[in-house]
Structure 1
Amino acid sequence: MWMDTFQSFLSIALELTILFVVISFVINFLQAYIPYEKVEKYLGGKNKGIGALFALLFAFVTPFCSCSTIPVVVNMLKKKMPFSIVMIFLFSSPVLDPTIITIMGVVLGWKVTILYTIITAVFSVIIGFALEALGFEKSVKNVVMSGYQENTRKFNVKLALRETIYLMKSVYPFLLLGAAIGAIIHGLVPTNWIASTFGSDNWWIVPIAAIVGIPLYIRLSSMIPISQVLIAKGMALGPVMALMISSAGASLPEVVLLKSIFKKELVIMFVLSVITMSTISGFIFYLI
């Protein structure tokens, strides 16, 4: 049994490693052609609809986890960008990682991935505009956070390779952790138990998964291999996606960082919004 688990880990890890290296290198290389100055101009423009689209685009081309998004959010607030646009970026950046979404497409299927991308993007926009309409802009503190640098470098093959290596150091361990957890679930957890406990008939698992995902702080890169095994074992897609979105969209370290720039009521609303987005998204996948 342990040998089967180890072989499963090697298989999952090898597949994800090849995908991760190739996709990361290509995306880092192509970033040279992204006009960041124009993107920033549209983010702070008067047209909120165009600003929302560019916030999603900016979130997609800046592959950050939930914590590393915060300095960028502070920089956007300092530049007096519209509050709703900043919130759209805050919610969408951790869940719209181009590398991980591509891996998700290969591992979980493109139908699931496209639906995931559309749902998280739409909910990010809805939540961003809703928070502004409800007056939560007043809950932003006046803070200055260092450590953020704008991307002004031109990418080439050497630089893309260097960025890929850097990304591997910061993200790849979580990918391996996910592969290890997935292999253990594959080898040691009974299929019948997962199917009967977390199967399609148990709708109540969806909101529980959404709530549980936040304190776990499982990065999206770790959740992909875990999700693949859970689905293969018989777990319904709804709770898997709810867990994936909530764990990527918010975390305890991020909440602590947000408390330094947001007042308590906005931090609470942020967490509730992530849980709501995860739960409704999970039910959409559940119904499908």
Structure 2
Amino acid sequence: MLNDFFQSFLWIALELTVLFIVVSFVINLLQGLLPFEKIEQKLSGKNKAFAALAALLFAFITPFCSCSTIPVVVGMLKKKLPFGIVMIFLFASPVLDPTILTIMGVILGWKVAFIYTIVTATLAVLIGFTLEALGFERAVKNVVIKGGKQETKRFNVKEAWQETVVLMKEVFPYLLLGAGIGAAIHGLVPTDWIANTLGSEKWWLVPVAAIIGIPLYIRLSTMIPISQILITNGMATGSVMALLISSAGASLPEIILLKSIFKKELVITFIISVFTMASLSGFIFYLI
């Protein structure tokens, strides 16, 4: 059993590490060609549909975890960007990571990655504009935190590699954690038990998985190998996606940080919105 665990762990860790390094380097290299100042102008434009697309693009090219989005959100609020656009970025950035989406496509299949991208992006836009229409901008505190401005980057191979190394140093422990948990589930948890207890017929596991994921501070890079093992062992894709999205979209550290810039009503609404986003996404996968 231990031999199987170590073999699974080494294979999963190696696969994720290679994919993460290659894709992260390419993304960092390409970011040098992206004009951040023009993106900010599009975010504040009068065309809401185009501004929403710009917010999704900005979220896509700034792949942060749930906590590291907060300084950027503060900067966007200080620049008086439309509240709905800021909320779209807040919900989309942690779950739309080009590196993780590529890894998801390789490990879970490109169909899953494509549907995941469309569903999460659409729900982020709908939730963002809904919060704006309901007037939740009133629940933003007087922000005094500095930061959040994105500097223009140059197209530089050396800098791209240095940023990839820095990112890997930060992410690598999470990759190992995910590989370890995935290998443990693969070797220690009975397949029949997972199939019978967490199978696709149990629709109620979708909201349950969404609730379980919210308090956790788990990166998508950690959840991907875990998701692969759970799906392989019989857990419904919908439940796995709900857990993945809720754990990436919110966390206790992020909620604490949000309390410093949002009033209580907006923090609670944010948690409910992440749960809704995760549950609806899970049910879509469940139906498919």
**TM-score (norm: length of structure 2):** 0.99
Secondary structure of 1:131's aligned partner: helix
2:243 matches 1:243: yes
What's the counterpart of residue 71 of structure 2?
71
What's the counterpart of residue 97 of structure 2?
97
Give the Cα–Cα distance (whole angstroms) in 2 for the partners of residues 120 and 22 of structure 1: 25
Q: What are the within-5 Å matches in structure 2 for residues 1-288 of structure 1? A: 1-288=1-288
Give the Cα–Cα distance (whole angstroms) in 1 for the partners of residues 222 and 174 of structure 2: 5
Superposed displacement of residue 91, structure 1: 0.3
> What does the per-residue CA deviation read over 1:255-280, in whole Å, with 9 as the maximum and x for residues that have no partner?
00000000000000000000011011
Greater mean alpha carbon deviation, residues 171-180 or residues 64-73: 171-180
> What does the per-residue CA deviation read over 1:235-270, in whole Å, with 9 as the maximum and x for residues that have no partner?
110100000000000000000000000000000000
Q: Which amino acid aligns with 1:188?
A: L
Q: Which amino acid aligns with 2:73?
A: V
Superposed displacement of residue 35, structure 1: 1.3
Give the Cα–Cα distance (whole angstroms) in 1 for the partners of residues 150 and 202 of structure 2: 46
Q: Which amino acid aligns with 1:258?
A: L
CA contact (8 A) 2:35 2:152 kept: no
Superposed displacement of residue 145, structure 1: 1.4
% identical equivalent positions: 72
Superposed displacement of residue 148, structure 1: 3.6
Secondary structure of 2:81's aligned partner: coil
Superposed displacement of residue 147, structure 1: 4.3
CA contact (8 A) 2:70 2:257 kept: yes
Give the Cα–Cα distance (whole angstroms) in 2 for the partners of residues 240 and 116 of structure 1: 12
Q: Which amino acid aligns with 1:66?
A: S
Superposed displacement of residue 146, structure 1: 2.6
Give the Cα–Cα distance (whole angstroms) in 1 for the partners of residues 257 and 200 of structure 2: 36
Secondary structure of 2:281's aligned partner: helix
Q: Which amino acid aligns with 1:20?
A: F
Superposed displacement of residue 176, structure 1: 1.3
Give the Cα–Cα distance (whole angstroms) in 1 for the partners of residues 255 and 38 of structure 2: 31
Give the Cα–Cα distance (whole angstroms) in 1 for the partners of residues 230 and 150 of structure 2: 39
Give the Cα–Cα distance (whole angstroms) in 2 for the partners of residues 145 and 174 of structure 1: 28
Superposed displacement of residue 149, structure 1: 4.4
> What does the per-residue CA deviation read over 1:171-204, in whole Å, with 9 as the maximum and x for residues that have no partner?
1211111011000000111000000000011111
Query: Structure 2, unaligned stretches of length 5 or more?
Result: none
Secondary structure of 1:215's aligned partner: coil
Give the Cα–Cα distance (whole angstroms) in 2 for the partners of residues 105 and 199 of structure 1: 22
CA contact (8 A) 2:43 2:85 kept: yes
How big is the alpha-carbon RMSD for the aligned residues of Structure 1 and Structure 2?
A: 0.8
Rate the CA distance shift 1:129–1:148 in 2: closer, same or farther, 3 A: closer
**TM-score (norm: length of structure 1):** 0.99
Query: Structure 1, unaligned stretches of length 5 or more?
Result: none
